[in-house]
Amino acid sequence: MIKEISKFYSIPFTEVNSVTSKMLVEATPAAKKKHGIKAGVYAPTWEEVMEFSTSLKSFLAKYPHIETHVKRLVGQIRSCSRHAGGVVIAEKLNESMPLIYSGGVRQTPWSEGQNVRHLEPMGFIKFDILGLASLRMIEGAIRHILQRHHNIAEPTFEDVQKFYNDNLHPDVVDLNDKSVYQNIFHKGKWAGIFQFTETGAQNFCVRAKPDNIIDLSAITSIFRPGPLSAKVDQHYVSARHNEDMIEYPCPEFEEVTKETYGFLIFQEQIAMLAHKLGKGISLDEGNMLRKVLTKKGTGKGAEVKNEIYNKFVTGCAEKNLSEREANKLWETFEYFSGYGFNKSHAVSYSILSFQCAWLLNYFPAEWMAAYLQKHTDAL
């Protein structure tokens, strides 16, 4: 909003960007201190950003007319957009929620701010139906391979499926193939590689040099706003290449986080650590803690959290960890839960990334043909 208003008044972009890029960084620590928050991710309110960001205060003092517009527009709807693949299903939908036409497409703005846990109790079913261009590229590359190397002039879908099942299926392909990691992910050959279209993700991957699917999953999980703002990417690369420097607070922590070099990258790690360190914390309770900490709308809240916390501290004491050490571990849970990613999702996505890289590594001409075709179709 500040950028749009400033652009209207012809204020140089570099000046505006220097403010908007720093204001949250400046305001967040002071806002957390104000609320007594010592760990975890906190998103300051707009009022707190204006109160604690020195850069923003200086900017608005210099351009008071910008402040006037900002105060009037903050919290207003900027635009009407449509979820890329969100589909709400119900009988007589027009009688249950408002509908609009936007760009010739019927949609419901009322449901955009709600997720499945809000909608289901009201009798609606919501699906996120997303398509990936990467799948079309994989099919196209396989067709080229069959034509060039198997003398099949017009491959059928069954031909494509057979090649996939024989060579690329997750149960068949060698996910530890070092040549794929070294030739693609280490050297930075990114044409059409799923999840690695951004320069930042590419540079991070080259620095981290993944050797397996878990490494790849960790990299893609870290390359998101939360972890990046906490510089987890830098710490991860350092630990990845200096494993002797990693300090694990206890054997259980090492067992659960060794594959991610001492970092809690995946949400499942929080659940597993609570189960292993707590007294009588079942895996179901550990998973409930994961949901509570990651704010997944369980409806349980503080009561469940406190109950599991007490079991956790008791279990840590029985494992010769002091109360201070137990609390530090718990704070680590809360801190990383703000941006922990679901491991099952991350691994699934990374297998698709690996399949793209496998094709580029072993059939570069065929993969590039499919890649170029995708971009041609988009024109």
Per-residue pLDDT of the chain (379 residues; tens, 9 = 90+): 788 889 889 999 899 988 988 898 899 888 888 887 765 567 788 889 989 999 999 999 999 998 888 888 887 766 666 666 677 788 888 887 788 887 777 777 766 556 656 777 777 877 777 777 899 999 999 999 999 999 999 999 999 999 999 999 999 999 999 999 999 999 999 999 999 988 999 999 999 999 999 999 999 999 987 788 778 899 999 999 999 889 898 899 999 999 999 988 998 999 999 999 999 999 999 888 888 887 654 455 677 888 899 999 999 999 999 989 999 888 888 877 777 888 999 999 999 999 999 999 999 999 999 999 988 876 6
Helix (H, G, I), strand (E, B) or coil at 164: helix
Is the alpha carbon torsion for 155, 157, 159, 163 positive or negative? positive
In a domain, 243, yes or no: yes
Do 233 and 333 have their domain in common?
A: yes
The per-residue pLDDT for 112 is 55
In this structure, the answer to whether residues 210 and 170 fall within a common structural domain is yes
Structural domain includes residue 57: yes
Separation between Cα atoms, residue 247 and residue 261, nearest integer Å: 9
φ, ψ of residue 272 to 5 degrees: the values are: -70, -40
Residue 239 lies in a domain: yes
pLDDT at 349: 94
Whether residue 176 is found in the same domain as residue 272: no
Q: 347 lies in a domain?
A: yes
For residues 349 and 213, what is the distance between their CA atoms, to the nearest angstrom?
A: 10
Predicted pLDDT of residue 295: 63
- Report residue 134 as tokens: 């990467």
Q: Same domain, yes or no, for 117 and 142?
A: no
pTM of this prediction? 0.71
Residue 349 and residue 216 share a domain = yes
Tell whether 307 and 256 lie within a shared domain.
Answer: yes
Number of domains, the chain: 4
Residue 294: per-residue pLDDT: 72
- 234 lies in a domain? yes
Whether 81 is covered by a domain: the verdict is: no
Q: Are residues 248 and 332 in the same domain?
A: yes
- Is residue 78 a part of any domain in this protein? no
Neighbours of 124 (CB within 10 A): 19
- pLDDT of amino acid 167: 97
**What pLDDT does 110 receive?**
66
What pLDDT is attached to residue 369?
Answer: 96
Q: How many CB atoms lie within 10 A of CB 117?
A: 12
Q: Domain limits at 90?
A: 86-128
pLDDT at position 298, please? 47
Query: Are 256 and 333 in the same domain?
Result: yes
Same domain (yes/no): 108, 138: no
Task: Determine contact, residues 185/216, Cβ cutoff 8 Å.
Answer: yes
Q: Are 56 and 100 members of one domain?
A: no
CB proximity list for 202: less than 8 A, separation 6 or greater: 188, 190, 196
Structure tokens at 263: 């970092």
Strand runs labelled E in 76-232? 86-89, 100-102, 105-107, 125-128
Tell me if 79 is assigned to some domain.
no
- Residues 53 and 91 both lie in one domain: no
Residues 268 and 189 grouped into a single domain: no
